[in-house]
Amino acid sequence: MATARPLIIGPSTGPEAPYPLRMEGKVIRGFGRGSKELGIPTANLPVDDSLTPWIVDIKSGVYFGWASLRLPPSHPNQPTASSEARSGFSVYPMVMSIGYNPVYKNKERSAEVHVLHEFGADFYGVEMRLLLTGFIREEKDYPVLEALIEDINIDCDVARNSLDREAWTLRETVKGTLDGSWLVREAVEENLKTHGKVSEASKGVDLLLVPLFESV
């Protein structure tokens, strides 16, 4: 009998050290297996220890947190909310794996992000920032793909449940206290240069934050 997995990670007081951790880069093409074989599309980031030194020592496995994407104007999911900042940033909950994916016997470490949102188009080459808030589980091998898919779906539920708490939700929203300003910081700086002030719309990401429990 399989051991029941916890559906919430971390204390109600918020992420504990060393979290939150930051990672950023442009989305690159992965192996193409997430959507085709698993039905779980992923956005890959290059694993570069010169940019994220912490990744060298961090254990391989599944993590969760928040992702921001700076989508181009032509993308169907580009935010339409009116804002002086016009940052183009959208913020979403995410779950990700860092490791070698034992099922596929990868020889190089990869960072594969599953953004908890249904997108109308790919976004290769787009700037993505990640705020990792916690660790869900270690990576493992599976005898069949169905078992892997089941675990990934549980990972998504764990991420949603864990992030749906005040100390884990971004303080730029009406209910959170977690500092998520880094996810959109460049937009605020650009707004200062352009307007000489930070507009009310650019002080947070509330207008651009996708609902946590949106159907995906």
The pLDDT confidence band at residue 80, using thresholds 50, 70 and 90, is low
> Which residue ranges form the domains of the chain, and what is each CATH number?
21-208 (2.40.30.30)
Residue 84 in this model has a pLDDT that exceeds 50: no
Q: pTM above the 0.85 mark? A: no
CA count, 13 A, side-chain hemisphere, 150: 9
Q: Could you report the per-residue pLDDT of 23-67, keeping only the tens digit for each?
A: 999 998 866 665 556 788 889 998 888 889 999 899 999 999 999
Q: Could you report the per-residue pLDDT of 95-145, keeping only the tens digit for each?
A: 999 998 777 777 788 899 999 998 876 778 889 999 999 999 999 988 898
CA count, 13 A, side-chain hemisphere, 115: 24
Count H helices and E strands in the chain, helices first.
Answer: 3, 6
Q: Tell me whether the omega of the peptide bond preceding residue 18 falls within 30 degrees of 0, making it cis.
A: yes
Q: Which residues face 55 on adjacent strands?
A: none
Which token pair is 39? 């039905």
Q: How far apart are CA 28 and CA 115, in angstroms?
A: 14
Q: Which of 16, 37, 84, 112 is catalytic?
A: 112
Residue with tokens 């609902």: 211
- Can 146 be counted among the known catalytic residues? no
